[in-house]
Amino acid sequence: MRLGRIASPDGVAFVSIEGDVGDGSSPGDAVVREIAEHPFGSPTFTGRTWPLADVRLLAPILASKVVAMGKNYAAHALEMGGEAPEDPVIFLKPNTSIVGPNAPIMLPTDAFPVHHEGELAIVIGRPCKDVPAARAAENILGYTIANDVSARDQQQQDGQWMRAKSHDTFCPVGPWIVTDLDPSDLELETSVTRDGTTEVRQRSRTSLMIHDIGAIVEWVSAVMTLLPGDLILTGTPEGVGPIEHGDTVNVTIGGIGTLSNPVLRKGK
């Protein structure tokens, strides 16, 4: 099942997205079915539907927090100037950094360079704490795509990651959540379109993550209680690079789709 969140002429709602969603450039013939209340557990439907082409996709979930993994691909750790740590490294991004598909990433006036980081994201499905790795799947609603946008100069200046990764719009998420997905070996590709030319920057597979989904959920839930809708970003592979005013960033993950966001510089 594909779960999403939309803005329609009747307001904002959670939906199930059914049918052919197209190739990313058009919505195909898909329709959305409005979910009553929330998508957790066994969702019920109101009976209202719209063509996907007639609504606007929003970030598919309202997270209380975003937990992100650092250096979870060995090749990315190396390109950042070090080896991957033995234990997972986690940090928080505020929920105010979340935006949906096609919403602009707003670059601060004083941040150079700002990098894209395409990632698979876990969506938590129920309250949980101290989850063993073997039972992680029981607590997961599904998976979506995220872009952990990062201001590298601020990251280096501060010696930690909070400011560099917390700006409003620095966590694009979407376009929807897929609930029936095996996340163990998915292709991940990030491309940047600039002046009409598209360059593939990142291409890897989730099977190359150092800490897999079960280990990630076990580690994070040992630290904090996870709530329905919370997001865990699972880390980015090698190939991160700068984004500039006028670019479009596309993150594609097999079995999910493509998350696209234009890039704007504040003040331009």
At 236, the pLDDT band (50, 70, 90 cuts) reads very high
Average pLDDT over residues 179-203: 98
At 155, phi and psi to the nearest 5? -60, -45
Domain count, the chain: 2
CATH number at residue 222: 3.90.850.10
Question: Domain boundary residue among 58, 77, 93?
Answer: 58
33-58: b (≥16 Cβ within 10 Å) or e: bbbeeebbeebeeeeeebebeebebb
CATH number (domain holding residue 30)? 2.30.30.370
Same domain, 15 and 119: no
Q: Would you state the pLDDT for residue 97?
A: 98
Q: How confident is the model at residue 80 (pLDDT cuts 50, 70, 90)?
A: confident
pLDDT at 81: 75
Residues 54 and 71 both lie in one domain: no
DSSP three-state, residue 170? coil
- Identify whether residues 132 and 173 lie together within a single domain: yes
In angstroms, what CA-CA distances link 149 with 47, 99, 142, 233, 237?
38, 11, 22, 12, 13
Query: In the 8-state DSSP scheme, what is residue 196?
Result: T
d(CA 44, CA 61): 17
Residues of the domain holding 52: 2-58
Q: What is the pLDDT of residue 268?
A: 81
Mean of pLDDT values over 248-256: 98
Smallest CA-to-CA distance from 124 within 140, 138, 101 is with 140
If you search the block for the tokens 């039972």, which residue do you land on?
Answer: 135
Q: Can you tell me the mean pLDDT for 66-83? A: 89
**Model confidence at 9, in pLDDT bands (50, 70, 90)?**
confident
Q: pLDDT digits over 200-231, tens only?
A: 999 999 999 999 999 999 999 999 999 999 99
| Mean model confidence pLDDT for the chain | 95
My answer on whether 37 and 93 are in the same domain is no
